[in-house]
Structure 1
Amino acid sequence: MGIAVSSLWKSLFGQKQLNICILGLDNAGKTTLTYQMTMGQAVSTAPTVGSNTENFTYKNLNFLLWDVGGQASLRASWSSYLANTDAVVFVFDSTDGERVGLAREELHKVASDESISKAPILIFANKQDVTGCMTPADISESLSLTTLRLQNWHIQGCSALTGSGLNEGLDWLATSLGAQG
């Protein structure tokens, strides 16, 4: 009897897989962040050509993570990954002040895509462990985040190498997605 009730419960209220698209310029730390979330450690990586996918469970939510390459030649394909996306994680290299304008342009293109109009956007200000990096407040201003009025967004300082700040960002994301559900 217990197995039948358990099976019925899962079929009616089972965990839905949530599709998360991880985007950002090349060298922002997307793949390192992905492996830190899924494996709990930094892994030596090479630039992503195309995309990587990883399954990940956090706070009883099942995520399918799409880690998409950030090279200029790959950014044009980002929109094709956004269909059926429940949330976007945008990774910004906090030491890359020279390309903040380009990052702002790419983030705003993504945010204006109709297929994610209701999807929360988590911005990870990565590499906060590097001396002289931009603060999350500086990045928020430079990326013009307050103009993203249609999306629920949050910026979180982090280090993909150490894992610092990841749980705080993921907590926000889990809460945002739970509220949608």
Structure 2
Amino acid sequence: MGLMQLLRRLSELRKPTRKLRILLLGLDNAGKTTILKVIAKETQDKDQVEPTRGFNIKSVNSSGFRLDVWDIGGQRALRPYWKNYFEETDILIYVVDSADPGRLEESRVQLDELLVEDKLTGVPLLVFANKQDLGMALKADDISNDMKLTELTDRRWQIQPCSAKTEEGIADGIDWVLKSVKASSKN
């Protein structure tokens, strides 16, 4: 086998085997874009994040998967347009600002509306309880109870405490996503 053939084979082995479409949603200022930057390993400018006016897309290779992550703006005026991005979603990641308990009910209502959408039926859900680095942040268990996540029976779900600022918990959440997809593909 020649060097070029060997290099081609090695290149093929590194290519992701499966493409995943991930929808990253949540209220404005929850930390979605910063989480996206952490996932994409673009952490050099994560402290300079502007509110998303529309959407951001990043593709990341991880553990044999190509993750196409769609970060959609969470401002009230943009939320009616979220439905335009539901098609072929493999994973829903919903980000909650753990340090803003005053908006937890609004966040719960928005998530409830997402979970009854036909195009998102049965789609695994990861909830990032973001901003855990802040002293006033609610614990993930409290958020889970307040958002009634324990009542979900129609899909796999996980709540993951995290801090986009310190990056703690983000990799654990993505690991859960990959394990969830692998488990569902075995069934």
1:82-129 superposed Cα distances (whole Å, 9 cap, x missing partner) = 111000110000011001111001111111111121211000000000
- 1:127-166 map, 5 Å: 127-166=131-170
Q: How many residue pairs get matched?
A: 178
- Tell me by how many angstroms 1:16 deviates: 2.2
Helix, strand or coil: the match of 2:158? strand
One of 173, 179, 184 as aligned partner of 1:180: 184
Helix, strand or coil: the match of 1:104? helix
One of 47, 52, 61 as aligned partner of 2:51: 47
- Tell me by how many angstroms 1:180 deviates: 2.3
1:39-87 superposed Cα distances (whole Å, 9 cap, x missing partner) = 2523411110110000012222111000000000011111111111000
Normalising by structure 2, report the TM-score.
0.88
1:98 aligns with 2:102: yes
2:24 maps to what in 1?
A: 22
> Is 2:16–2:62's contact at 8 Å kept on the other side of the alignment?
no
1:36 aligns with 2:46: no
**What one-letter code is carried by the residue in structure 2 that aligns with 1:26?**
D
**What one-letter code is carried by the residue in structure 1 that aligns with 2:30?**
A
> Is 1:95–1:127's contact at 8 Å kept on the other side of the alignment?
yes
- 1:119-130 map, 5 Å: 119-130=123-134
- Tell me by how many angstroms 1:147 deviates: 2.0
Structure 2 portions without partners, runs of 5+ = none
Helix, strand or coil: the match of 2:103? helix
How far apart, in 1, do the equivalents of 2:151 and 2:80 lie? 23
> Is 1:111–1:148's contact at 8 Å kept on the other side of the alignment?
no
Helix, strand or coil: the match of 1:162? coil
Helix, strand or coil: the match of 1:33? helix
One of 99, 103, 118 as aligned partner of 2:122: 118
- Tell me by how many angstroms 1:6 deviates: 5.0
CA root-mean-square deviation: 2.1
Helix, strand or coil: the match of 2:40? helix
**What one-letter code is carried by the residue in structure 2 that aligns with 1:72?**
R
- Tell me by how many angstroms 1:25 deviates: 0.2
1:27-49 superposed Cα distances (whole Å, 9 cap, x missing partner) = 00000000011025234111101
Most deviating of 38-47 and 53-62: 38-47
Normalising by structure 1, report the TM-score.
0.91
1:56 aligns with 2:56: no
After the TM superposition, list the runs of 4 or more consecutive aligned residues in structure 1 that deviate by more than 3 angstroms: 1-7
How far apart, in 2, do the equivalents of 1:48 and 1:179 lie? 33
Structure 1 portions without partners, runs of 5+ = none
> Is 1:35–1:43's contact at 8 Å kept on the other side of the alignment?
no
